[in-house]
Structure 1
Amino acid sequence: MRFRKIAYDPPKVLVFGFILIILIGALFLSMPAATANGEGLPFIKALFTATSATCVTGLVVVDTGTAFTKFGQIIILLLIQIGGLGFMTFATFFAFLLGKRISLKERILLQESLNNISIEGIVRFAKRILIFTAIFETFGAIILSIRFSFDMPNGKAIYYGIFHSVSNFNNAGFDLMGEFRSLTGYVDDPVVVLTVCLLIVMGGIGFIVINELYEYRRSGRLSLHTKIVLSFTIGLLVAGTLFILLLEYTNSKTLGPLSPGGKILGALFQSVTARTAGANTISIGDMTHSGLFLIILLMFIGASPGSTGGGIKTTTFATLIGAVWSQIRGKEDVVLYRRRIGYETIYKALTVTMSALFLIILMTMLLTITEEGADFLAILFETTSAFGTVGLSMGLTPHLSPAGELIITIMMLAGRLGPLTVAYAITFRRRQDPYKYPKGKIMIG
């Protein structure tokens, strides 16, 4: 009986499901047919790449555009799509095709995978996710293919358009441009920048929000969750753009040489992508220290719940900001948009944030040991990027030791699943105590 309880525990199923997909992907990427040199990737590098793709991160130890064959690149693209939407969404899709009924256990797993509040209507919601994904990725692929066709043959442009649309909607950041250039060649191109920004934002706000926006004309209302996600997403994007523009405006290695319009596009793109996407149009390693620290903060916050992105999430950040503001004002309740936030939500937000900080501090410390001599800011940047499943890099990742690659691999998995899901998966028993201790008082501050 105990074994069955563990096997059917949703967090455990999700964690081991992701691990299984990663291992299968690593086996494919280690095959000779997957790499341009015909030798296959060493398994630790294949594992790193499969984890980065499945966890929609984008950190790479080899250049995707030159190291892999079309076969290897398509494997990476499939891992990105499965990891971005969640393997339970894909399982549901195949169940639809086979006419199979979705069981209660599968609905619970689907709810956990999509981070949905209720199990009610979860199958219908999964169908809509697949439709929304197809619409946005097709739109992005068409626009990018047309734009790329001016720079390369049509067949290659279509392939690049599809790859970059899927990669960026799923907030993965993988690219095929070669030599670790990402999209730096299109820094002041409004078509590429604005299209990719739209894909990243729509993938990062979460399918719950997209679904509510879709139903807004019929329902005429938005939930508290959607209001918080939209307001904080817009606020963070605008603030990030302005601060990056200010901090990098005269930097000759980033925004300095660009026209005023190009500077705005460059700052906007980095503000959007820092939230969890991983593509870049300026050289990240050449940014000022203040600019890099701002990117670290944005990566730590990340995207929104139920999305393809990582980080502690915008709603967690909003809850903490609300709690601090209420405490400063001497208010007992945390109120956002005239709605009181329950203490259990505040505790969960605090737990997620502290768990994330603990993971980042621990892994950064370990990397300072394994990557002795590496710049500390680069180590902290790479670690936060892995946790936020962002994929931005200061150039350290391709030079990591095998131990460093393993540490970042673990960090990417923890960031994609969330520290709480991982904690629940390795905890055998979770239950409320049948008693309460007497209240005590301690001094704070």
Structure 2
Amino acid sequence: MKLSILKLTPVQLLVLIYFSAILLSSILLFLPAAHRPGVEVSYLDALFTAATAITVTGLTVVNTAETYSTTGHVMLMVMLQFGGIGFMTLGTFLWMATGQRIGIMRRRMIMLDQNQLDLAGLVRLMRDILLISLLIEAVGALLLGLYFYFVLDYGSDAFLYGLFSSLSAFTNGGLDIFGNSLEDFSQDYFVQVVHMLLILGGVIGFPVLVEVKEWFASPNRKQFRFSLFTKLTVTTHFALIAISVIVFTALESQRFYSTMPWHEAFFYSLFNAITARSGGLATMDLNEYSLPSQLFLSFMMFIGASPSSVGGGIRTTTLAVVLLAIFCYARGQNHIRLFGRELMEEDVRKASVVFATGAIIVAVAVLVVMVEQPQHSMIKVVFEVCSAFGTTGLSLGLSPELSAAGKLTIIAIMFMGRIGILLLLFLIRKERPPASFHYPRERVIIG
């Protein structure tokens, strides 16, 4: 058995680890100790919950607050942490703590897990990611715990609620133990702001957080140069949030927001704009939104988070590069230039492949679910599939109504969204020697 595992490529081994983590988690969540007294959960529902926790998605087929005991909630927190910051981050910490050597195989797995471009500096990156993540989660848990205890009078459970909420928000897990996500806090802007900052911290990308830390530590901040990745992903991320707020406000001003004061409507729009990146928590029943808003939300979830973050989807930089490529082609430009740099052709080609593959996966999944359960409306299916692919967790209430085949389809999409399109393609990719000859080239009509 050990010899067989050693023959696996780093990509295959990494996928196997996440798959095994889901199976192990499903067994743990199926145990009676994980449930409240008198509550029974089928293995398929336990598997779905395990998948949504490990992939930090947040789609659920059972009510987390009413179904799982304190033991179950602790299990879910461990699963969210594992899925959020990644196996290789925790693995690197354990290897360092036990004095084990981090060889080339493990470094390649780290590179794939965190979507890095080379092997240099990976161990230090993993250490920084873990320390930054734990610090942000601790601050969020303390703020929320104190607020729940002193202001909202949650009693002895206040800090459990604070810890779970902080961890779920930062890892963009989308799970809650309140019973209705954050709908009870639709008028509580302090809780919303803390959750939004935690979601942003998890979804903006670990390399961005590390560079921000290095900027703070730099003795000469004026001379510090952020990487092109940080500039592009931060610009794209906040541009998408701003556009989303404007679109939601425009679409719902005469509908859902028509009787609300401006600040209430603004916070609904802002929270949904941020949580659509991959957060999955909600301050409202999204069935209240109009069809255009639900479609727009679906597209935002399809885009997902930034690369090398806790979220899924095609990723923000993929969208940015594809749009820039379209713009440059329309202008007759052969190269994409931004922030004083020029993008490599390989990255442009990679972005196009990721975008197209993501669209195909979502389209096939929608078709499968619609064939299996034609009684559901198209928008509900599209919304749920995009939420699973973006590992977001927002829902129009379809997941609990899915058949066994529908649930398995959503589980598969959540898994693909978590490991990422590139890792999925690398899984089926074979190393081939350079071609020794080329066929004559011929052009085809495009478009």
Which TM-score band (shorter chain)?
A: over 0.9
| CA offsets 1:56-99 (integer angstroms, 9 cap, x no match) | 00000001111111111111111111011111111111122222
CA contact (8 A) 1:53 1:172 kept: yes
Aligned pairs for 1:401-440 within 5 A: 401-429=403-431, 432-440=434-442
User: What residue number does 1:258 align with?
Assistant: 260
In the TM superposition, residue 40 of structure 1 has moved relative to its aligned partner by 4.6
In the TM superposition, residue 428 of structure 1 has moved relative to its aligned partner by 4.9
Measure the CA separation in 2 of the matches of 1:64 and 1:427: 38
Measure the CA separation in 1 of the matches of 2:260 and 2:432: 55
Among candidates 238, 242, 254, match of residue 238 of structure 1: 242
Measure the CA separation in 1 of the matches of 2:444 and 2:61: 48
Aligned pairs for 1:14-413 within 5 A: 14-38=14-38, 40-149=40-149, 150-178=151-179, 181-217=180-216, 218=218, 220-252=224-256, 255-413=257-415
Change (3 A) 1:348 1:145: same
RMSD of aligned C-alpha atoms? 1.7
| CA offsets 1:161-194 (integer angstroms, 9 cap, x no match) | 100100010011101111xx21011123221111
Where do 5+ consecutive residues of structure 1 fail to align?
none
CA contact (8 A) 2:192 2:271 kept: yes
In the TM superposition, residue 315 of structure 1 has moved relative to its aligned partner by 0.8
CA contact (8 A) 2:277 2:301 kept: yes
Change (3 A) 1:71 1:319: same
- Aligned residue type for 1:157: A
- Aligned residue type for 1:209: V
Measure the CA separation in 2 of the matches of 1:6 and 1:396: 41
| CA offsets 1:26-45 (integer angstroms, 9 cap, x no match) | 00011111111455521111
Change (3 A) 1:47 1:435: farther
Larger deviation, residues 313-322 vs 216-225: 216-225
User: What residue number does 2:444 align with?
Assistant: 442
Measure the CA separation in 1 of the matches of 2:190 and 2:273: 17
| CA offsets 1:9-61 (integer angstroms, 9 cap, x no match) | 12111111100000000000111111114555211111111010000000000
Larger deviation, residues 277-286 vs 377-386: 277-286
Task: Indicate the percent of aligned positions where both proteins have the same amino acid.
Answer: 33
The residue matched to 1:214 in structure 2 has which SS?
A: helix
In the TM superposition, residue 259 of structure 1 has moved relative to its aligned partner by 2.3
In the TM superposition, residue 104 of structure 1 has moved relative to its aligned partner by 2.1
CA contact (8 A) 1:31 1:39 kept: no
CA contact (8 A) 1:12 1:426 kept: no
Measure the CA separation in 1 of the matches of 2:434 and 2:68: 50
CA contact (8 A) 1:370 1:404 kept: yes
In the TM superposition, residue 330 of structure 1 has moved relative to its aligned partner by 0.6
Measure the CA separation in 1 of the matches of 2:25 and 2:209: 30
In the TM superposition, residue 145 of structure 1 has moved relative to its aligned partner by 1.4
The residue matched to 1:59 in structure 2 has which SS?
A: coil
Change (3 A) 1:5 1:27: closer
The residue matched to 1:108 in structure 2 has which SS?
A: helix
In the TM superposition, residue 211 of structure 1 has moved relative to its aligned partner by 0.8
| CA offsets 1:297-353 (integer angstroms, 9 cap, x no match) | 111111111100111111111110110010110111122223221111111111111
Q: TM-score, normalised by structure 2?
A: 0.95
Where do 5+ consecutive residues of structure 2 fail to align?
none
Q: TM-score, normalised by structure 1?
A: 0.95
- Aligned residue type for 1:224: L
Change (3 A) 1:147 1:365: same
CA contact (8 A) 2:232 2:317 kept: yes
CA contact (8 A) 2:5 2:13 kept: no
Measure the CA separation in 2 of the matches of 1:5 and 1:38: 41
- Aligned residue type for 1:172: G
- Aligned residue type for 2:171: N
- Aligned residue type for 1:289: L
CA contact (8 A) 1:322 1:336 kept: no
Change (3 A) 1:371 1:432: farther
Change (3 A) 1:224 1:123: same
In the TM superposition, residue 426 of structure 1 has moved relative to its aligned partner by 3.6
- Aligned residue type for 1:291: S
The residue matched to 1:444 in structure 2 has which SS?
A: coil
